[in-house]
């Protein structure tokens, strides 16, 4: 059983590692499901997974916030399959690993349909855990395979169980910390969340999803991984999705004032999407259940972010303040000590390097060139 990096004792003893773990047949093909794979982070994850010629990647997405355009270069590829599917309904396929990203992550979308959001978090996660259980994402799998290999009943060159990597990863969120009373936030902090606010469908939905993951881990021995992801930015973000980085960049490109919600001193930490994808894959392939914070600890006030966007993209735009939304956290910064120590991961892309890459993508989609 994988460790979560805390002092909790697992209810099931870990299986003895097979001496066959280093054999070549452990590199057999993987069938990997990415829910929400047509979305912003999901599509970048698909790109990275497809770089491995041994991977078959299946995307399940209902296009509520995702887009086929994000995956157009893979459509028709023999190792890629795209399924229009809502995870609130069961999915009957055979897979080896599940990256469960499906859920609206933008305030505009989850406030527009809060019931759908919490159903996706709770029922969708239950369905993916059911799929993981049915397809054998259990910690005992490598020991069972060794047993069957000795009996000569399994072809090790073709059977996925010999990978010993059958598992499900949930992308949870820094929103489980709510409006935090500790700073920065580490994984032992239980959070300060309003259970009845306008953001609760997302915040509490993710908290329940984490609970379900650990319940299946303890009761059924499912191999789980939980990533608590912090603010992420980069190409393919929805242009008008209400998140601060996409808002500022779109406004700067359109020569509109940058609208900073009061008081402007609230802070966020921004992780470039390639760093985020690398962190998720390291967590999936590692030996720790999590939860583990994946984010960039560089912290900026909203006014500082606006000044950076103005300087880098359009020095002529004005910065104005507007009323804030309810339950907006005052500060958010990840403690990534666990990610460094357990995953050997830390972000590499600085904000001032990532913003121009996002600008280029937005200009291309908006059809607005830079002024000469």
How many C-beta atoms lie closer than 10 Å to residue 86's C-beta?
19
Q: Which residues contact 17 (CB under 8 A, 6 or more apart)?
A: 142
CB of 34 within 8 A of CB of 49?
Answer: yes
Cβ 70 vs Cβ 236: under 8 Å: yes
**Annotated active-site positions, please?**
202
User: What separation in angstroms does the CA of 132 have from each of 59, 135, 223, 263, 347?
Assistant: 15, 5, 9, 45, 30
Residue 267, both tokens: 């802070």
Query: Which residues make Cβ contacts (< 8 Å) with residue 87, sequence separation at least 6?
Result: 35, 60, 62, 100, 102, 120, 123, 124, 127, 128
3-state SS record for 286-340: CCECCCEEECCCCEEEHHHHHHHHHHHHCCCCCEEEECCCCCCCCCCCECCHHHH
How many Å apart are CA 245 and CA 239, to the nearest integer? Answer: 10
DSSP states of 187-199:
TT---B--TTSTT
Whether residue 259 contacts residue 201, with contact meaning beta carbons closer than 8 Å, is answered with no
CA 342 to chain centre: 18
């Amino acid at each position: 059983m994988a460790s979560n990096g805390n002092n909790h004792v697992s209810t099931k003893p870990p299986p003895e590692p097979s001496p066959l773990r280093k054999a070549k047949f452990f590199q057999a093909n993987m069938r990997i499901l990415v829910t929400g794979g047509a979305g912003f982070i999901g599509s970048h994850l698909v790109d990275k997974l497809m770089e491995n010629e041994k991977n078959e990647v299946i995307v399940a997405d209902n296009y509520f916030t995702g887009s086929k355009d994000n995956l157009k270069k893979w459509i028709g590829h023999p190792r890629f399959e795209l399924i229009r599917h809502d995870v609130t309904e069961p999915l009957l396929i055979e897979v080896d690993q599940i990256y469960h990203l499906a859920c609206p992550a933008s305030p505009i979308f989850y406030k527009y349909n809060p019931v759908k959001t919490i159903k996706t978090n709770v029922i969708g996660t239950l369905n993916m855990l059911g799929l993981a259980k049915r397809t054998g994402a259990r910690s005992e799998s490598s020991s069972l395979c060794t047993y069957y290999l000795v009996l000569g009943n399994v072809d090790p060159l073709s059977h996925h169980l010999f990978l010993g990597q059958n598992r499900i990863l949930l992308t949870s969120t820094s929103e489980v910390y709510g409006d935090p009373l500790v700073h920065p936030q580490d994984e032992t902090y239980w959070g300060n969340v309003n259970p009845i606010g306008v953001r609760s469908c997302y915040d509490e939905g993710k908290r329940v999803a984490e609970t379900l993951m650990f319940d299946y881990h303890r009761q059924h021995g499912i191999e789980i991984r939980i990533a608590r992801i912090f603010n992420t930015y980069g190409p393919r973000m929805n242009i008008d999705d209400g998140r601060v980085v996409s808002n500022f960049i779109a406004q700067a490109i359109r020569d509109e004032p940058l609208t900073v919600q009061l008081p402007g001193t609230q802070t966020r930490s921004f992780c470039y999407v390639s760093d985020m994808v690398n962190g998720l894959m390291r967590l999936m392939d590692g030996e720790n259940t999590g939860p583990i914070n994946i984010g960039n600890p560089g912290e900026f006030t909203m006014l500082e972010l606006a000044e950076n966007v103005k300087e880098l993209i359009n020095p002529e735009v004005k910065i104005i303040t507007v009323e804030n939304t309810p339950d907006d956290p005052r500060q958010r910064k990840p403690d990534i000590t666990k990610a460094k120590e357990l995953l050997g991961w830390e972000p590499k892309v600085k904000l001032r390097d990532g913003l121009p890459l996002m600008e280029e993508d937005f200009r291309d989609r908006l059809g607005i060139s830079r002024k000469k």
